[in-house]
């Protein structure tokens, strides 16, 4: 039975500073790199056949660390980033056909990017709560359909992440591939809403820890059979 591993990136430098990050391309902190290494150790008894990440560096960095710190996860294969040839900015410099017996493809996509926080990006969360009120900031951060000023709601994020999951990632699972998705709190919350069949009113209580793998067993029809959070 194939498995799907969801992994929120390790702590970023702006996570450590309690700042709204969104689409700002901030790398991992020292702790974040350690979290990705620990995730790799937790997943050492699993095998990954294909990986998807967002286009943001913290997610790609987490994926690479997770896939390379414990070689067993890749089954001895070399992770290779495969960029979208349909992207108008693709230059063709990575033109190379991955050998599935030797290499593990990593597909980055903007569809898996964090939600766009608009005018909040770069602001301190505590200071923003003091200015606008804790209840308002919590609604911006955790509600389903309320957008922060100039930004995306979780519903907006879901409307790009879930169709991508169904079109690009679910077929891998249905054909028996084990898949790792290294992405973000909100893009992964959207996918979890789909997988766990959660209603919008259940969203505020859905929290994801940085660097903690969530493992789903998926049947041949793409349905969830079992879910495990590797937080120990």
Q: Which residues are catalytic?
A: 9, 114
Is 150 known to sit in a ligand binding site? no
Is 174 known to sit in a ligand binding site? no
Is 141 known to sit in a ligand binding site? yes
Is 102 known to sit in a ligand binding site? no
Is 134 known to sit in a ligand binding site? no
User: Left, alpha or beta for 211 (phi > 0: left; psi -120 to 50: alpha)?
Assistant: left
- The angle subtended at Cα 158 by Cα 153 and Cα 161, nearest 5°, is 130
Strand ranges for the chain from DSSP E: 3-8, 50-53, 78-81, 103-108, 179-183, 213-218, 224-229
**Helix-then-strand count for the chain, H and E:** 8, 7
Is 197 known to sit in a ligand binding site? no
Is 8 known to sit in a ligand binding site? yes
Is the separation of the CB atoms in 1 and 219 below 8 Å?
Answer: yes
Q: Two tokens at 215?
A: 């493992």
Is the separation of the CB atoms in 62 and 10 below 8 Å?
Answer: yes
Is 117 known to sit in a ligand binding site? yes
Is 96 known to sit in a ligand binding site? no
In the annotated binding site for substrate, the residues are 8-15, 21-22, 58, 114-117, 125, 141-142, 185-186
In the annotated binding site, the residues are 8-15, 21-22, 58, 114-117, 125, 141-142, 185-186
């Amino acid at each position: 039975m194939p498995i799907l591993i969801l992994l929120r990136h390790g702590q970023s430098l702006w996570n450590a500073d309690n700042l709204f990050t969104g689409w700002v391309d901030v790398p991992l902190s020292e702790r974040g790199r350690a979290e990705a290494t620990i995730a790799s150790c937790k997943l050492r008894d699993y095998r990954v056949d294909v990986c998807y990440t967002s286009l943001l560096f913290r997610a790609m960095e987490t994926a690479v660390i997770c896939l390379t710190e414990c070689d067993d996860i890749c089954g001895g294969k070399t992770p290779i980033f495969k960029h979208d040839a349909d992207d108008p900015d693709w230059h063709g410099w990575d033109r190379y056909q991955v050998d599935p017996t030797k290499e593990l493809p990593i597909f980055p996509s903007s569809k898996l990017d964090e939600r766009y926080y608009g005018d909040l990006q770069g602001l301190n969360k505590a200071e923003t709560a003091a200015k606008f009120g804790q209840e308002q900031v919590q609604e911006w951060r955790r509600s389903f359909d309320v957008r922060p000023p100039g930004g995306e709601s979780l519903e907006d994020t879901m409307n790009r992440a879930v169709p991508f999951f169904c079109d690009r990632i679910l077929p891998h699972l249905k054909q028996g591939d084990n898949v790792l998705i290294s992405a973000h709190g909100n893009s992964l919350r959207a996918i979890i809403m789909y997988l766990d069949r959660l209603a919008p009113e259940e969203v505020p209580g859905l929290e994801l820890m940085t660097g903690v793998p969530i493992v789903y067993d998926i049947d041949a029809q793409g349905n969830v059979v079992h879910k495990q959070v590797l937080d120990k």
